[in-house]
Structure 1
Amino acid sequence: MTEPASPSPVSGHGGTHAVAAARRHGVETMFTLSGGHVFPVYDGAVEADPQLRLLDVRHEQTAVFGAEAMGKLTGHAGWAVLTAGPGVTNGVSALANAYQGGAPLVLLGGRAPESRWGQGLLQELDHPPLVAPITKSATTARTTADIAATVETAFATANAAHRGPTFVDVPLDALYDQAEATPASPAPDTDRSADPTDVATVARLLSAARRPVFVFGSDVWLDGAASTAREVAEELGVPVVTNGQGRGVLPGSHPLLATRARGMALGQADLVIVVGTPLDFRLNHGLFGGTDGAPLARVVHITDAPDQIATHLDLAGSASGRLEEVLRELGNTAKPGAELAEWRELLRSAGAEAMERDAALLTAETTPIHPARIYGELRSVLDSDAVVIGDGGDFVSYAGKYLEPDLPGHWLDPGPYGCLGTGMGYAMAARLTHPSSQVVVLMGDGAAGFSLMDVDTLIRHRLPVVMVCGNNDAWGLEKHPMRALYGYDVVADLAPQTRYDQVVTALGGGGELVTRPEEIGPALNRAFAAGIPYLVNIATDPENAYPRKTMGV
């Protein structure tokens, strides 16, 4: 067998080497905000063949959110480049969001020059110790010759399971200097085969269960297992609950999708097999069953990497490895019993009853507007391949309840870290990744205050998206729980009916204020037909609170 040829050395300044390394990992867009410490990286992008897209934003966190969304949408690391000091620190919250959500991205930061380090230089800060707790790796490429291999390693690490962000900073003098460097050879694939004994144990548990449920999470999509997950659920006839980017693995109309009967599915199951998502607060930390006299359910955790398996509770079984392979083997070996048909019908009936109860809210004629009415209108205008982005609290919780994507990878939310302000960065990545699909950002008025200035970015780069703002004049996710705890609320009110639509119009987009329910549908139609960034600012009932059973902690 002939050994593969070694990569040929490349000459150029440090920015050339950084861009070449990113391009070798499929990067087509650099999210950035201009800064002198990283000028050579821009030069490398301009000189690249084909030229790398430079997408410049108005706040560094938006650049990192854009790179995070690229990772979430494609399964391959996005790229953000930020200048030194405050450029990097402005991106820290977005970096933490990607880390908590397992989204692959590489953040390259500028750095004060190595030759004069310690002399109180402009924006001098040792970034790696700051970001190490929220990245898979954080390092400095100290010489020009180090840059290519360091950036290559950062991308490989970000893209390896369990996925997540990595960080590299490069001193200014290393970026500007010239050197010859040899690109790193591709690392061999690591063995991610699951232990057959572990999979066999899960198969036995599933075969013996009378009321099993699958929970499919984001890593089912990111690990390339979405189609296999659907096939296995259908082959076995096991009901499914989804979360994160697992939403859409089964389309909203699928008879096995038990999302509308989620409480019953997870409360009366005797076995819950959680695939590709942590057993965190979104899943009651793995405590399932126990409702209406049912015993606690046995829990199986299947993850893309061994270190992701939950350790805070006793599991009935677990497995880790390539999720596609684990699920396929489970489908080949498990033999669920005849009782499963009765369980499916119970959940189907409960889901149908829930939808019937919801019908009145989805068509409510009340003024002020009930948030659910907005989703009743949206459901009628969204295409099957629409990309839906949630950026908010209570308003987006309603979206999770009433909107169900038809395709995996077409739902984006901040994930378990819950960082507000993701909307504009996510929208940019979604429009670039899905140029012919509808892209809609659902935001509360609180979230709007974090990121609407980056509508300017959408305008300048000709990235049309529709924004729907549920404007209830408050930090609703805080206002109502505080009232419940103390009998009053403070620091939770925003100005009434703020004209966020006029902010978008002033920046060059379009928008309008909606105050009556019958105005919602026509406004949405105008927004999708506009072909520009367009915000439908909908005044919703400030007294309405999303009906949570817990505060999620």
Structure 2
Amino acid sequence: MSASSHSEPAVKLTGHGGNHAVEVARRHGVDTVFTLSGGHVFPVYDGAVTSDPPLRLLDVRHEQTAVFAAEAVGKLTRRAGWAVLTAGPGVTNGVSGVATAHFNGSPLVVVGGRAPDSRWGQGLLQELDQPPLFSTITKRAWTVHDPALIAPALDEAFTLANTAHRGPVFVDIPMDRLYDQAEVTLEARPAGADRSPDPDAVAAVARLIGEAQRPVLVYGSDVWLDGAEQVALEAAEELGIPVVTNGQGRGVLPAGHPLLATRARGFALGRADLVVVVGTPLDFRLNHGLFGGRDGAPLARTVHITDSPGQLATHLTLAGAVSGDLSLVLRGLAEQAAPRPEVAQWRAEVAEAAAATAANDREVLDSDASPIHPARIYGELNRVLDDDAVVIGDGGDFVSYAGKYVEPRRPGNWLDPGPFGCLGTGMGYAIAARLTRPSSQVVALFGDGALGFSLSDVDTLVRHNLPVVMVCGNNGIWGLEKAPMQLVYGYDVVADLAPQTRYDQVVTALGGGGELVTDPAEIGPALRRAFDSGVPYLVNIVTDPENVYPRKTMGV
């Protein structure tokens, strides 16, 4: 997706600051304001309900949910979502959501209320200089003190958020300035900067692909966010190279595609002699860019391809690097690279490894073990998911199993917290998914620990008539912490939750539906009842706490 730019002519804005903010947001494609009621931002609400047509106001029960919902709008539509937070605690409650968007590269605009300028420094209610809190986790964070500058500031905020590399922007506006009247002419912005990649850099990577015997492509979230998913699929097929996907890159090669190597991830990345990583950081999820070395193989050469220069890895020596419009980069590689004949044999080896893993998976996916093996849940879920289903993960071990066993069929339809690992994203993501994909299945997968962060926002789903299927893997522990602490110390503390907690009854009490499942044979029927219910519905499944997700110390 190219940088945001206005196609409309210049427009004259009148009214108070809230009117101006709403009209600018609308020009950038916003149709929903995510918020929790607060007096510092009443003019924005007034602007939303009096505009023509009105902007939807969606109010939540905790500000973090508002920010996570707005972030997920950005993830799903590739256009910044908008959260409006009241001053002080309202803003600080949103910090983790903004940090999550920062690490995910999600386009997001957050407007914060602020104590009035007219009496600043007198110890006003919730008087706090808020932009410094966001200085390291946003593309820009600042305060607007002039009502005539609110519209230009919001225009800049949305443009920044939507421009590669995408990310969050924070603007706070003093309460009195939001109420002030002003007349402003908002000028149309020019088109975004040229993002054509360096042709020599593309040619150099194409040569590396031509030299490699065991190349692997890795597609990450920015392939989706940059609108390059179709070109990425075509490039992989043209080159005939195995592909590993992560984040919202999952589904670029749909489940079952012969080049999809995610089920043989460890084998492919461990035996590769060249790994070309596109649209994702070389962080802990990818062993910090160190590949190869498996079964005596030498270390692989690593190429990093990003949507903008600032995203290129600097912590290791790269064999090649390209930044720019990812569609142009991938199209150039497909046109210029000529893979060696040996790649056909490598492709067959990776496919064989993936098939062997899939065959071995059947044992746990169909397991009748009691207590329930978490993988059995995903064996059943895969049978009822539509091709366009949006699958959301919010948890530790339970979601790790989902990442292993649920393979999306379309890109952009997998949402998880990303590298920041912030629990509590799920309910906000589910709200956004139901709004932006009204005809699709929406499934939110929660560990029982993660569910506690946002369970009250089931009330939001109910009040706004947003049916979502929620699945809780209820093992009564903090799975990511209990086993590791036992390994380190020989004991564990603060890692237990109450066993078999009836989270489903909480959902029912809030106006939704739900049930407890303890028999593996009942998982499938319960999921079908959930999808058929037409209400927010929680399938609360008791799983075996002894079944800890198998982790390695290395990322591959």
TM-score (norm 1): 0.98
Assess, with a 3 A threshold, how the Cα gap between structure 1 residues 44 and 136 changes in structure 2: closer, same or farther. Answer: same
Task: Give the aligned partner of residue 382 of structure 2.
Answer: 379
The aligned amino acid for 1:194 is: P
Could you say what secondary structure the match of 2:452 adopts?
helix
C-alpha displacement at 1:188, in angstroms? 2.7
Partner of 2:445: 442
Query: CA contact under 8 A between 1:199 and 1:330: conserved in structure 2?
Result: yes
Alignment partner, residue 497 of structure 2: 494
Paired residues for 1:500-539 under 5 Å = 500-539=503-542
**Residues 381-433 of structure 1, C-alpha deviations (whole Å, 9 max, x = no match):** 11111000000000000000000000001000000001000011000110011
Deviation of residue 516 (structure 1)? Answer: 1.0
Unaligned stretches of 5+ residues in structure 2: 1-6
Match of 1:75 in 2: 78
Match of 1:415 among 399, 402, 418: 418
Structure 1, unmatched stretches of 5+, are: none
Residues in 2 aligned to 1:120 and 1:136: alpha-carbon distance in whole angstroms: 30
**Residue deviations 1:86-138, cap 9 Å, x none?**
00000000110000110010000000111111000011111011111111100
Partner of residue 12 from structure 2, selected from 3, 9, 12? 9
Contact 1:22 1:152 in 2 (8 A): yes
Match status 1:111 vs 2:114: yes
Letter in 2 for 1:154: A
- Quote the residue 1:163 is aligned against: 166
Q: Which residue of 2 aligns with 1:283?
A: 286
How far did 1:5 drift?
Answer: 8.9
Once residues 397 and 489 of structure 2 are traced to their aligned partners in structure 1, the CA distance between those partners, rounded to angstroms, is: 20
- SS of 1:37's equivalent in the other structure is helix
Contact 2:286 2:555 in 1 (8 A): no
Could you say what secondary structure the match of 1:147 adopts? Answer: helix
1:270 Cα offset (Å): 0.4
**Which residue among 311, 316, 324 is the counterpart of 2:314?**
311
Q: Does 1:268 align with 2:271?
A: yes
- 1:251 maps to what in 2? 254
**Superposed displacement of residue 471, structure 1:** 0.3
**One of 464, 474, 477 as aligned partner of 1:474:** 477
Separation in 2, partners of 1:518, 1:550: 35
Contact 1:148 1:184 in 2 (8 A): no
Q: Which amino acid aligns with 1:495?
A: A
User: 1:481-533 CA deviation, whole Å, 9 max, x = no partner?
Assistant: 11112111110000010000001000000000001101111110100000000
Q: Which residue of 2 aligns with 1:65?
A: 68
In structure 2, how many angstroms separate the alpha carbons of the residues matched to 1:234 and 1:23? Answer: 39
User: What secondary structure does 1:428 align onto?
Assistant: helix
Partner of 1:417: helix, strand, or coil? coil
SS at 1:179's partner residue? coil
Give 1:187 deviation, angstroms: 3.4
Structure 1 counterpart of 2:174, which letter?
Answer: P
RMSD: 1.1
Structure 2 equivalent of residue 347 of structure 1: 350
Q: 2:372 aligns with which of 355, 361, 369?
A: 369
Following the alignment from structure 2 to structure 1, what is the Cα–Cα distance between the partners of residues 419 and 341?
36
Asked if 1:36 corresponds to 2:39, the answer is yes
Q: Distance in 1 between matches of 2:309 and 2:16?
A: 40
Q: Measure, in 1, the Cα distance between the counterparts of 2:444 and 2:190.
A: 38
Q: Deviations over 1:445-474 (max 9, x none)?
A: 001100010000000000000000000000
Is 1:26 aligned to residue 45 of structure 2? no
Instruction: Check the 8 A contact 1:370/1:541 in 2, yes or no.
Output: yes
Distance 1:504 1:551 in 2: 39
Match of 1:119, SS? coil
2:324 to 316, 321, 325: 321
- Aligned equivalents of 1:102 and 1:503: distance in 2? 34
Equivalent in 121, 124, 144 of residue 147 of structure 2: 144
SS in structure 1 at match of 2:142: strand
Cα distance per residue 1:230-252 (max 9 Å; x no partner): 00000110110000000000001
The answer for the alignment partner of 1:394 in structure 2 is 397
2:219 to 190, 200, 216: 216
* 1-structure distance, mates of 2:554, 2:334: 36
The CA distance in 2 between the partners of 1:191 and 1:8, in whole Å, is 26
2: distance between equivalents of 1:151 and 1:213? Answer: 42
Per-residue deviation, 1:9: 2.1
Aligned AA (1:447):
A
SS at the partner of 1:202? helix
Helix, strand or coil: the match of 2:294?
Answer: coil
Q: Is the 8 A contact 2:214 2:273 kept in 1?
A: yes
Which of 109, 121, 132 aligns to 2:124? It is 121
Question: Does residue 451 in structure 1 map to residue 454 in structure 2?
Answer: yes
Residue identity matched to 1:82: L
Closer, same or farther: CA 208–552 of 1 in aligned 2, 3 Å? closer
**Aligned: 1:195 with 2:191:** no
Residue 182 of structure 2 corresponds to which residue in structure 1?
A: 179
Q: Which residue of 2 aligns with 1:242?
A: 245
Instruction: Indicate the SS of the match to 2:467.
Output: coil
In the aligned structure 2, how far is the partner of 1:475 from the partner of 1:184? 52
Task: Give a deviation string over 1:342-387, Cα, whole Å, max 9, x none.
Answer: 0111011111111111101001111100000000000101111100
**Kindly tell me: are residues 331 and 552 of structure 1, through their superposed partners in 2, closer, same or farther at Cα, counting changes over 3 Å?**
closer
Q: Which amino acid aligns with 2:15?
A: G
Q: Which residue of 1 aligns with 2:4?
A: none
Q: Is the 8 A contact 1:152 1:184 kept in 2?
A: no
In 2, Cα distance between the equivalents of 1:427 and 1:5?
A: 32
CA distance in 2, matches of 1:292, 1:6: 62
In structure 2, C-alpha distance between the alignment counterparts of 1:48 and 1:544, rounded to whole Å: 53
Q: Does 1:46 align with 2:46?
A: no
Aligned residue for 2:102? Answer: 99
Cα distance between partner residues in 2 of 1:316 and 1:181: 51
Letter of the 2:106 counterpart:
A
Amino acid of the structure 2 residue aligned with 1:86: P
| TM-score, structure 2 as length reference | 0.98
SS of the equivalent of 1:535 reads strand
Cα separation, partners in 2 of 1:551 and 1:544, compared to 1, 3 Å:
farther
Residue type matched to 2:489 in 1?
Answer: Y
Letter in 1 for 2:39: G
State the Cα distance separating 1:170 from its structure 2 match. 0.4
Matched letter for residue 188 of structure 2: S
Q: Distance in 2 between matches of 1:119 and 1:414?
A: 39
The answer to whether the aligner puts 1:550 opposite 2:538 as a matched pair is: no
CA distance in 2, matches of 1:386, 1:6: 38
Alignment pair present for 1:430 and 2:440: no
Amino acid at match of 2:375: A
Q: Which amino acid aligns with 1:202?
A: V
The CA distance in 2 between the partners of 1:14 and 1:187, in whole Å, is: 24
SS at match of 1:463: coil
Kept in 1: contact 2:390–2:443 (CA 8 A): yes
